[in-house]
Amino acid sequence: MTSAAATIDPATGRCLPAPSDTQKPSLIGMTRAELGEALAEVGVPNRQIGMRAGQLWHWVYVRGASDFDQMSNVSKDLRQSLGERYSLAAPQVVSEQVSADGTRKWLLRFPARGAGRPVEIETVYIPEAGRGTLCVSSQVGCTLTCSFCHTGTQMLVRNLTAAELVGQILLARQRLGDFPDADTPAGAIVPGTGRLVSNVVMMGMGEPLFNFDNVKQALLIASDGEGLSLSKRRITLSTSGVVPMIARTGAEIGCMLAISLHAVRDELRDELVPINKKWPLAELLAACRTYPGLSNAKRITFEYVMLKGVNDSLAEAKELVRLLKGIPAKINLIPFNPWPGSPHECSDWQTIERFADVVNRAGYASPIRTPRGRDIFAACGQLKSTSERLRKTQRMQGQAAQAATTGPV
Ligand code: SAH
Ligand code: SF4
């Protein structure tokens, strides 16, 4: 594992974040209409607003501009008045870690809102052959308490805003050098296939469907054809099963859907994914069957975490196949990623393969998800509190290093 591109403060073990303007509202994450209002506020005449909003959109989402001064076709006066009132600042990077397998995890800090405190969340980048997936967080913590998920041990602090959601994508692309056209005179939309961040999954911290409005706004910006231009087929939203919001996800966002299923009986799912008590399997699967846009070319992914002796029997594999009958689906088997104090163990590899065989033979693609970034606690379900643990370790290392250099001679 290599760690942190930025300078580390030895006293705290934290990266020293690049200064950013946290007081001004950000233009990132605004809809075009909101951007128009912001332009009107700085005195742009009505007839110019559409054109100016288009210019800003292009600079931010196609070129990756993070400073008004980069906007060479915008007048100096307008750049100045925008800069006085608004910000384009990317989220502050508290730490950046790179796993031995190339997975990257950023701990990001967002300013306080209202009477709250500044908050921190994690965003993970997973490079694979031919594609790169960004795992975006939707909330700070989670209200739900799935027994196998580390994030579930964190209380919900707050929802992330659309600016903070889109900011995770922009930050990742900026850090990875994924705005290759930024400096060419025209700047062009990079096709999805040629990018480092080619896919986005809402599978980080939090339940995205409990933050629907902001997630919707952010994903519509991410898929806007004149901006970030990610195909909706390359955006997947994962939910633990917030049934009333599933149809709206398909109709209003139109992205791919993933369901954290993890059990095939209500009794067990009530325990593993407690939201099941409110919306049990029958209701969840009924919502899946009618997901807008569902077809063989646009299948739902069912995530199934493999927990030793809990949900990994062959009888359960057969029941899974029976339950999903008629739903265009793929089944993603996720080896359980352990975290300190977790009450579960990962199923044996052989058990996972046998389970996968049953599902495969029934005609479903059932890839076993290779755990990525476990060494930096970036794998599914390991996010957030492990950062605190790592920071504590770093702090101790920092203190030890300081003692070594300032200790008695
Ligand atoms: N809250 C949403 C999205 C975030 S979780 C949801 O639950 O779907 C992303 C995925 O990681 C979910 O399928 C979740 O069940 C899974 N996951 C959580 N903890 C895990 C762990 N310790 N090991 C493996 N997968 C885990
Ligand atoms: Fe929340 Fe998803 Fe973790 Fe459950 S699995 S606690 S819904 S983040």
Task: List residues bridging with 97 in a β-sheet.
Answer: 3, 105
**159, β-bridge pairs:** 139
Q: What contacts 51, CB < 8 A, 6 or more positions away?
A: none
Tell me, what's the pLDDT at 406? 32
Q: Is the pLDDT of residue 236 over 50?
A: yes
Ligand 1 pocket (Cβ < 6 Å) reads 146, 148-149, 203, 207, 238-240, 260, 303, 305, 334, 336-337, 380-381
pLDDT in tens, 304-328: 999 999 999 999 999 999 999 999 9
Nearest CA to ligand 1 atom 18: 381
pLDDT band at 366; cut points 50, 70, 90: confident
Whether residue 385 has pLDDT greater than 60: no
- What value does the mean pLDDT take over residues 70-75? 92
Model confidence at 239, pLDDT cuts 50, 70, 90, reads very high
- In the block, residue with structure tokens 């906007």: 71
Given a cut of 90, whether residue 222 has pLDDT beyond it is yes
Closest ligand 2 atom to residue 275 Cα is 7
Task: Specify the pTM.
Answer: 0.88
Domain residue limits, the chain: 6-85, 92-389
The rounded Å distance from CA 354 to ligand 2 centre is 27
**Which residues neighbour 128 within 8 Å (Cβ) at sequence distance 6 or greater?**
none
Are the CB atoms for 6 and 106 separated by under 8 Å? no
pLDDT band at 117; cut points 50, 70, 90: confident
- Architecture label for domain 92-389: Alpha-Beta Barrel (3.20)
pLDDT band at 302 (very low <50, low <70, confident <90, very high): very high
- Given 122, 164, 207, 316, the catalytic residue: 122
Mean pLDDT of 380-389: 55
Q: Is 380 one of the catalytic residues?
A: yes
pLDDT, mean over the chain: 86
Q: pLDDT tier at 116 (50, 70, 90 boundaries)? A: confident
Residue 191 exposed, middle or buried by CB count within 10 Å (0-12, 13-18, 19+): exposed
Question: Is 149 a known active-site residue?
Answer: no
Q: Is the pLDDT of residue 223 over 60?
A: yes
CATH, range 6-85: 1.10.150
- How far is Cα 399 from Cα 393, in angstroms, rounded to an integer? 10
Ligand 1 mutation target, pool 219, 303, 304, most atoms within 8 A of CB: 303
What are the contacts of 268-274 at 24+ separation with CB within 8 A? 268/310, 268/311, 271/147, 272/146, 272/147, 272/148, 272/307, 272/310, 272/311, 273/144, 273/146, 273/240, 273/241, 274/144, 274/145, 274/146
**Band of residue 407 on the pLDDT scale cut at 50, 70, 90:** very low
pLDDT at 400 over 80: no
